Structure 1
């Protein structure tokens, strides 16, 4: 069962990560972790199957909930597309089991780090069939890497 006490971030797709840092930073008083490039990043979507995307991302510093800004290639990261990539990211200990639990309740996989038949990878974006908020399941295996990135 997903534990919302384990929300790590609220994410938003942006067209220009540097401009978004300035605007969100000023308005919300945020400081940012260094922007990281994932170039290329293995990605899976129902429309394209397994492919590569190019992503730049950062998180606000402080917490416990961070704001994540993501600029990437492909339709999933298009901030003008609805439903867009606004989401909450939640740590889970068994990503495949949590994804299957949601699938069994009628949710859909919108994107993931690997194809569903390969266990979804380390992240899986899940959605109800109706537009709205996405839930990003994040494998707890990534926690040390992200904590290091954020200096936590």
Structure 2
């Protein structure tokens, strides 16, 4: 079940990744983990596709994720700044089904090698986008904010 206390990050998609990271660092004192990502296969309503995803998470809390924009995908900047709310999920498929029953639309999913959903992005009737992230990935994903990246 999706609960408020499972919310663990706010996602921002930016056309100017470095400038966004610098702005949040200079204005609010955010510090950042390493940039992570690579080519990944995701499933959209139109079928499977590969995207080159790159992001960084703040070491500072509340946690923020900055994602490099990917034109022509859901990873494009939102007019309001916040792109999505990220939630841990113990059962991504069941939680996604609950959101679908509440009028959300599935945008992108990705499975783990064992076939369980790794993450799902869904957009609500009011435009709010939710990312459900399988809690099984928490130990690995938490490495994204365990150490600060080197300033260069």
TM range (shorter): 0.7 to 0.9
Answer 1 or 2: higher relative contact order, Cα 8 Å, separation at least 6: 2
Work out the CA distance in 2 between the residues paired with 1:17 and 1:102. 30
Aligned counterpart for 1:90 among listed residues 87, 90, 111: 87
Corresponding residue for residue 58 of structure 2: 60
Distance 1:77 1:124, change over 3 A: same
C-alpha deviation, 1:25, in angstroms: 1.1
Equivalenced residues, count:
143
**Deviation at residue 84 of structure 1 after TM alignment:** 8.3
Distance (Å, rounded) in 1 between the aligned partners of 2:4 and 2:124: 17
Deviating above 3 A after TM superposition, structure 1's stretches of 4 or more consecutive aligned residues are 82-85
What's the TM-score once normalised by structure 1's chain length? 0.84
Q: Which residue of the partner structure matches residue 139 of structure 2?
A: 144
Alignment check: 8 A CA contact 1:77 1:84 kept: no
Number of the residue aligned with 2:2: 2
Task: Report SS of the residue matched to 1:75.
Answer: coil
| Partner residue, 2:107 | 110
Output the aligned Cα RMSD.
2.2
CA distance in 1, matches of 2:81, 2:44: 14
Partner of 1:133: 128
SS at match of 1:77: coil
Q: Structure 1 residue 129: deviation in Å?
A: 3.2
Q: Does 1:34 align with 2:34?
A: yes
Q: What is the TM-score normalised by the length of structure 2?
A: 0.84
Q: Aligned equivalents of 1:14 and 1:30: distance in 2? A: 16
Task: Structure 2 unaligned segments of length 5 or more: list them.
Answer: 148-152
